[in-house]
Amino acid sequence: MGETVRHRSRVRQDPTQPNLMQVHLIHAELHDELRAVGFDVSAGAMGENVTTRGVDLLGLPTGTTLLLGGTASVEVTGLRNPCKQLDGLQPGLMEAVLDRDEAGNLVRKAGIMAVVVTGGGVRPGDGIRVELPPEPHRPLEKV
């Protein structure tokens, strides 16, 4: 919440930097993947505000607008950079949400971050509409 960062480590670095981490979204498919390898996770367990299904969150470009429910909208700012607090939930969880692609690059799977554009109520089962930004699209980077 707020226009500038609230996360303690980021405030120490520069308290004037913009808050790009107002809303955390995770795809339910990640929960499925984690449960398949033995983790007990459910919606909200990893601190996410919104859990989606059927939306390729990690494949969205920066600046995508997500319309949630009837009135709320958020703008995608980047990838969540998972931290060791996940291991406090279940040992090994942080490592489980990180991967490597074919080229050896780090893949962060712990969801995406967004900022609120328009507030409004969001309930389980509400629809999500994706509005891509104008091209050229910029891939998501960690925020």
Name the E strands within 28-138. 50-52, 65-68, 72-79, 98-100, 106-108, 112-118, 128-131
Q: What is the pLDDT of residue 17?
A: 76
Q: Which burial class, exposed, middle or buried, applies to 125 when counting CB atoms under 10 A from its CB (0-12, 13-18, 19+)?
A: exposed
* 136 assigned to some structural domain: no
Strand 23-27 relative to strand 50-52, pairing: parallel
Bridge partners, 115 (sequence order): 75
Q: 81-97 burial by CB neighbour count: b if 16+ within 10 A, else e? A: ebeeebeeebeebbebb
**DSSP code, position 90:** S
Helix (H) or strand (E) holding 9: helix 8-13
With respect to residue 25, please indicate whether it lies within any of the assigned structural domains. Answer: yes
Q: What are the beta bridge partners of residue 72?
A: 68
pLDDT, residue 83, reads 85
Averaged pLDDT, 11-27 = 80
Reported as a single tens digit per residue, the pLDDT across 83-128 is 888 999 999 999 999 999 999 999 999 999 999 999 999 999 999 9
Residues counted in the chain: 143
Check pLDDT > 70 for residue 11: no
pLDDT at 1 over 80: no
pLDDT, tens only, 30-89:
999 999 999 999 999 999 999 999 999 999 999 999 999 989 999 999 999 898 889 999
Give residues with Cβ within 8 angstroms of 71, minimum separation 6.
118, 119, 120, 121
CATH number at residue 110: 2.40.33.20
Does the pLDDT of residue 2 top 70, yes or no?
no
pLDDT value at residue 7? 67
Residue 138: inside a domain: no
> What's the predicted TM-score (pTM) here?
0.89
Q: What is the pLDDT of residue 44?
A: 93
Is pLDDT above 90 for 14? no
Beta carbons of 115 and 23 less than 8 angstroms apart: yes
- pLDDT-derived band at 16 (thresholds 50, 70, 90) equals confident
Domain assignment present for 29: yes
Hey, what amino acid is at 97? V
Its domain, for residue 18, covers 8-131
Domains identified in the chain, total number = 1
